[in-house]
Structure formats: structure tokens, C-alpha cells
């Protein structure tokens, strides 16, 4: 027996001779291999598998023992193993005589979520709706365009994307293990957009008319509609009616554009169809005038089929006839006269005229023709003449004070401005006048409306029963008695009503409400008749009004108020209708 490693020899001897020697080399293992250290690669959690590594085992060869505690298998000489199941795994070192102490590691292997399928990829229109399914054993998370992503903040399995690209989904288990990613690529079809809408158009009967739409891209289908009615054969970007008829007129010609992604509808456009319009077949009639010293107001009965009127003023001579297709501008000199008016109204107004002068007016009716020459005039003209007035010369001036209804003189309760007894020649006491006002009389009409112990007494509503002329006019209304023990009145009306007659004021005029708010004073036509107030000089309305008291010029559709001088409207002055005076 030998106890030391080495080569040992043997020979045979027969007493005289030695035979050939034999030898054997032996290694004597006198110790135990060192301890083995085992660890797992990576960090917890271990998902699907983990690599375990063994080190140490000095003085021997390391053998993998699997899950066998104190195993002595020399089948697998290894320092590294990939483990796919949870458990405790062992390694030992062996020196052919002795086994060293084992090393081990315990690992928990968590399953990886299943694979994922994605639908909704490929070509899309505007928006691609991606739906991810599968991922068993975990929750599916959208990773956007990041491959290998581990985000839980971008959303779940249903995603709407509007940008081309490759998109990823992964499933995450409750243990924190990510499954394999799945991806899908998305690209988008260029959808049609309208870059130019159809526009309204107009045409005369028999002329062509077109509607167009511009679409990008142009490789689309077109279908035109008139309202809700499909137009057969109208399948291009432009739809043309070769010869329009009145029945083609409509407010909604539109186009439905179709592409791979659906349809879009253009705006609607209108087609207005005109017929050629002839010159009027009838003339204006009944030319009448209202004259002042330097102005003339003319009016006439409209023609039955005219759309407008041209009025020429001359000093008597007939003007040249207007030329079809030529527009004449008011205020210009033309046709041997002065263009007083051109437009749709049946009245006109001349100012800055010479006093005592005769003027002749020529009224041509015309029609606007949308199809060809326009305007088209009717001949001959309606004509008439008027003479301006002259300034009044007064030898002796008179003054009269109103003594009728509403007057503080309180002599009569009459409202008639044409009765002499309703006027006083003195201001503070009643002295009966024997004549009514004339063109050389200054008149002062001071009236008051009031309640007595809250009982309504009367509005001072005065009227003309015939034409009346005055020189200067002062119409002053007060609401309330002025006495402390009688309350003021609110909402009352003082007025001068022409009642279908003419009131001529040759000098200046002033109309005011001089006490109390909420009350009205007015002058004009209050009966709905064709009354006239002719102010030949300056007039002021509401200039001296008390606070919110109202002063008004009133009229109807058939009445006139003529101001040849300056019109001065105060802060609470009104120009209104006789149905709502004030």
C-alpha cells in the first residue's frame, strides 16, 4: 500500500536473474473539494426561465445535481444551467475520491403572458382602430411605436391612431412579467378634401350656366344634385347646363364626392335665372307738387311695370330722350337738363331753387334688364311744371295768443285753430281777436295738460279745420297746473294736428315740452290724412325740452313735413308716425 502519489515499480527475480520491470503511477487524493457557491442571474421576478451559476469547488470538478439534495451524480459537469421551473437547485465538486459540500439556490419562475393578436392594421381612412387580443395571463398595454416597450401609461388594447407607423402591444402579468410583443403597421389613404366650393351664379334664359368644385386628390367620384334630386350624367368636377330655363333656378346645386373612404358633400350654390326685361309698357301718372320759396317736392303715381324712374328738371324746354343702357346720376347735368332723381321711388325733392321761378319736370319710367342692355327707358315722359314761391312782405305785423283748449287764458274749450274767437290779442288776459292768424302774424300757443286731484281733465290736442298760414310759431306745452296743491301729469299729449290741411310757417318755429318728464308735444298729421306742415325757415324741435319731455314731428304715409331752412332737433326730439306720436 502506498500513501504518496508517484510511479511505483515491480521486477521478478529467480535467484540469479531479474526479469523486466513493471510500473504504475498513482495519484493519492488526500483532501475534500471546496464548497460550491450558487447564484441566479438577473433580478426578481424571474419570468419564464433563469440562469443559475456555480463557482468555487476548489480541488474538484463541479457537477450539476438538479433538485437532488446531496446528490453524487457525475453525469453533468457544469457550472451554469438554465432553469424553467421553480425549485431549489444543487451543485457539488468531486475529486474522484471525495465530494465537497454542496451549494444551492432557490428560484421562483413566473409564467410569461401569452402571445397577442392585433386587428385593424393596414390601409385606413383618417383613423385606424387597433384592437389587441390574447395575452393570456396578463393585461394588454399599448406601447405606441416603441419596440420592446414596457409602458403602462399609453392605454389598453383598443387604440385609435391617425398617424402612419408600426404600433406595438404587450401583456403584463400580475407578477410583473412582460409577454412577447405584437406589432401591426398602419398606413392611410389620402382622403378627398374640397379646396374650392361651388359659387352662386346667374344666367339669362337660353344661356349656359356652370358649377364647379375642386377636390384634392382628384381621383374621386362626382355626382351633382339639384336640391335632393340627382342629376343624371352630372359626374364630373364641373356641371354645365347648356341652355338654362326658368325651371332650372334653385338655391341648392351641390356635389357629392365619393372616394375609398366614403363621401363628402359640397356647399350648395344658387342659380338665378333672368328673363330679358323690356322697357315699361306704362308711364307714371298724376304728377303733383308741393312748392316752397326755394324748394319743390314732387310725387307721382308709379307705372304698373317699371322698376325705377329718371326725373329731369329743366326751365321749360323738353330734354333729349335718355339712351337705353346709360345710367344717369342724380345731381349731374344731362340730356339738356338737371338730373333731379334716378331710383325706385315715386317722389323727388328739389332744393336751392330760385324764388318765383317756373320749373318743368320730366319723369321717365325704366326697367333694369339683367339680360342685355340696361336700363331700358319708356318714352315719352310724364311732365309737369311748378313755380316756387316768393318771400312774403308784411307791412304790419300782428301777434296772437292761443285762448282755446289747454290755454291758461281758459276762455274757450275749442280745439279749432281756424276760429278767430279762440285767439287773444293780449297775452295775460283774454282780448278776443276778430281775425285768424295770417302770414304776417306771430302766434304763441302755450297749452297745459293736467290732473285735478288725480282726475284726468284733458290733453291739449288742437287741430286745423282749414289751411292756415302764420309768420313765426311758438308751440310750448307744459304738463301740470303749476299749482302746488294740484299734482303734475304724466303720459299726456299736447298736439297740433293738420287734419288733412296745410299749415304754413313762413318764419321760424319752435316746438317744446317745457315741464315734466314722460309727456309729449307733437305737430303734424295725426288723422292719417294727407296733411302738410311747410316750415319755410328754421325750425327747432325739443331744443328747450324739460328733462325727458318729448317733442315730435309726426306724419302718415300720405302726409308731408317740409323744412326749407335749418332743422334743429334737441336731445329728446322725435320724428315718428301718427300711430305712435312722441
Spell out the SS3 assignment of 28-88: CCCCCCCCEEEEECCCCCEECCEEEEEEECCCCEEEEEECCCCCCCCCCECCEEEECCCEE
Q: Are residues 479 and 455 in the same domain?
A: yes
Rounded average pLDDT over 261-270? 94
Q: Are residues 404 and 543 in the same domain?
A: yes
Q: Are residues 439 and 551 in the same domain?
A: yes
Q: Are residues 301 and 208 in the same domain?
A: no
36-72 residues labelled b (16+ CB within 10 A) or e (exposed): bebebeeeeebbeebebebebbeebbbbbbbeeeebe
Q: Are residues 54 and 36 in the same domain?
A: yes
Question: What is the pLDDT, as a whole number, of residue 439?
Answer: 85
Retrieve residue 304's grid coordinates: 304698373
Instruction: Determine the 3-state secondary structure of 249 from DSSP.
Output: coil
Question: What is the pLDDT, as a whole number, of residue 458?
Answer: 56
Q: Are residues 331 and 362 in the same domain?
A: yes
Q: Are residues 427 and 530 in the same domain?
A: yes
CATH number of the domain where residue 43 is located:
2.60.40
Retrieve residue 144's grid coordinates: 405606441
* Residue predicted with more confidence, 564 or 254: 254
pLDDT band of residue 571 (cuts 50, 70, 90) is low
* Residue predicted with more confidence, 581 or 287: 287
Retrieve residue 508's grid coordinates: 321760424
Q: What is the pLDDT of residues 512-558, one digit of tens each?
A: 766 554 567 889 999 999 999 988 888 888 776 655 667 788 988 88
Q: How far apart are the C-alpha atoms of 52 and 458, rounded to whole Å?
A: 118
What's this model's pTM, rounded to 2 decimal places?
Answer: 0.46
According to DSSP, residue 284 is labeled: -
Domain interval for residue 91: 1-110
Conformational region of residue 327, where left means phi above 0, alpha means psi within -120 to 50, and beta covers everything else: beta
At which of 110, 142, 159 does a domain end? Answer: 110
The beta-carbon contacts of 10-13 under 8 Å, at least 24 apart in sequence, are none
Q: What is the pLDDT of residues 443-468, one digit of tens each?
A: 988 887 654 444 444 578 899 999 99
CATH number of the domain where residue 354 is located:
2.60.40.10
Name residues whose C-beta falls within 8 Å of residue 297's C-beta, 6 or more positions apart in sequence: 289, 290, 291, 347, 348, 349, 350, 560, 562
Q: Are residues 62 and 35 in contact, defined by beta-carbon separation less than 8 angstroms?
A: no
Question: What is the pLDDT, as a whole number, of residue 20?
Answer: 86
Question: What is the pLDDT, as a whole number, of residue 29?
Answer: 64
Q: Are residues 161 and 179 in the same domain?
A: yes
Q: What is the pLDDT of residues 57-93, one digit of tens each?
A: 999 999 999 999 999 999 999 999 999 999 999 999 9
Q: Are residues 84 and 125 in the same domain?
A: no
CA-closest candidate to residue 89, choices 98, 57, 175, 78: 78
Q: What is the pLDDT of residues 388-409, one digit of tens each?
A: 877 777 777 789 999 998 888 8
The per-type count for the chain, helices as H runs and strands as E runs, is 0, 53
Average pLDDT, the chain: 88
- Domain total in the chain: 5
**HSE-CB of 526 using CA atoms within 13 angstroms:** 19
Residue 393 lies in a domain: no
Question: What is the pLDDT, as a whole number, of residue 558?
Answer: 87
Q: Are residues 445 and 342 in the same domain?
A: no
Q: Are residues 41 and 177 in the same domain?
A: no
Q: Does the N-terminal peptide bond of residue 213 adopt cis geometry, omega within 30 degrees of 0?
A: no
Residue 197 lies in a domain: no
Residue 279 lies in a domain: no
Amino acid at each position: 500500500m502506498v500513501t504518496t502519489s508517484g510511479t511505483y515499480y515491480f521486477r521478478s527475480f529467480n535467484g540469479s536473474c531479474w526479469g523486466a520491470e513493471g510500473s504504475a503511477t498513482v495519484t493519492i487524493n488526500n483532501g475534500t473539494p471546496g464548497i460550491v457557491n450558487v447564484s441566479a442571474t438577473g433580478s426578481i421576478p424571474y419570468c419564464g426561465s433563469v440562469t443559475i451559476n456555480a463557482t468555487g469547488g476548489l480541488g474538484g470538478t463541479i457537477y450539476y445535481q438538479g433538485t437532488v439534495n446531496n446528490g453524487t451524480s457525475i453525469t453533468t459537469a457544469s457550472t451554469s444551467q438554465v432553469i424553467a421551473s421553480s425549485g431549489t437547485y444543487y451543485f457539488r465538486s468531486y475529486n474522484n475520491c471525495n465530494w465537497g459540500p454542496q451549494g444551492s439556490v432557490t428560484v421562483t419562475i413566473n409564467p410569461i403572458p401569452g402571445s397577442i393578436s392585433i386587428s385593424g392594421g393596414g390601409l385606413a381612412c383618417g383613423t385606424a382602430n387597433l384592437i389587441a387580443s390574447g395575452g393570456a395571463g396578463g393585461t394588454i398595454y399599448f406601447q405606441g411605436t416603441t419596440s420592446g416597450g414596457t409602458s403602462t401609461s399609453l392605454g389598453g388594447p383598443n387604440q385609435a391612431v391617425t398617424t402612419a407607423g408600426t404600433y406595438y402591444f404587450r401583456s403584463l402579468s400580475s407578477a410583473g412579467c412582460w409577454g412577447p410583443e405584437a406589432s401591426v403597421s398602419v398606413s392611410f389613404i389620402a382622403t378627398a378634401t374640397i379646396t374650392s366650393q361651388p359659387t352662386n351664379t346667374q344666367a339669362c334664359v337660353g344661356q349656359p350656366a356652370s358649377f364647379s368644385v375642386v377636390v384634392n386628390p382628384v381621383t374621386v367620384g362626382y355626382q351633382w344634385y339639384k336640391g335632393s334630386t340627382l342629376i343624371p350624367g352630372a359626374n364630373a368636377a364641373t356641371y354645365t347646363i347648356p341652355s338654362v330655363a326658368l325651371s332650372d333656378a334653385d338655391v341648392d346645386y351641390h356635389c357629392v364626392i365619393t372616394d375609398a373612404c366614403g363621401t363628402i358633400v359640397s356647399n350648395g350654390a344658387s342659380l338665378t335665372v333672368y328673363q330679358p326685361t323690356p322697357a315699361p309698357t306704362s308711364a307714371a301718372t298724376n304728377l303733383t307738387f308741393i312748392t316752397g320759396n326755394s324748394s319743390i317736392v314732387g310725387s307721382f303715381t308709379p307705372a304698373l311695370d317699371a322698376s325705377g324712374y329718371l326725373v329731369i328738371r329743366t326751365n321749360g324746354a323738353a330734354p333729349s330722350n335718355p339712351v337705353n343702357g346709360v345710367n344717369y346720376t342724380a345731381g349731374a347735368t344731362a340730356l339738356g337738363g338737371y338730373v333731379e332723381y334716378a331710383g325706385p321711388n315715386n317722389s323727388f325733392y328739389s332744393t336751392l331753387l330760385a324764388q318765383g321761378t317756373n320749373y318743368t319736370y320730366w319723369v321717365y319710367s325704366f326697367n333694369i334688364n339683367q339680360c342685355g342692355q340696361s336700363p331700358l327707358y319708356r318714352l315719352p315722359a310724364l311732365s309737369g311744371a311748378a313755380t316756387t314761391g316768393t318771400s312774403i312782405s308784411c307791412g304790419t305785423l300782428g301777434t296772437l295768443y292761443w285762448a282755446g283748449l289747454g290755454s291758461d287764458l281758459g276762455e274757450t274749450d275749442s280745439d279749432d285753430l281756424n276760429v278767430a274767437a279762440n285767439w287773444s290779442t293780449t297775452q295775460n288776459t283774454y282780448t278776443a281777436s276778430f281775425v285768424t292768424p295770417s302770414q304776417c302774424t306771430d302766434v304763441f300757443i302755450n297749452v297745459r295738460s293736467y290732473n285735478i286731484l288725480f282726475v284726468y281733465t284733458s290733453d291739449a290736442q288742437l287741430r286745423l279745420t282749414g289751411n292756415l298760414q302764420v309768420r313765426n310759431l311758438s308751440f310750448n306745452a307744459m304738463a301740470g297746473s303749476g299749482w302746488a296743491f294740484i299734482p303734475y301729469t304724466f303720459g299726456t299729449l299736447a298736439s297740433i294736428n293738420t287734419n288733412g290741411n296745410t299749415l304754413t310757417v313762413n318764419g321760424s318755429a319752435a316746438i317744446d315740452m317745457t315741464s315734466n318728464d314722460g309727456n309729449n308735444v307733437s305737430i303734424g298729421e295725426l288723422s292719417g290724412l294727407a296733411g302738410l306742415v311747410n316750415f319755410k325757415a328754421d325750425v327747432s324741435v325739443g331744443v328747450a325740452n324739460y328733462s325727458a319731455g318729448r317733442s315730435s314731428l309726426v306724419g302718415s304715409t300720405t302726409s308731408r313735413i317740409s323744412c326749407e331752412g335749418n332743422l334743429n332737433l334737441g336731445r329728446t326730439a322725435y320724428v315718428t308716425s301718427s300711430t305712435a306720436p312722441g
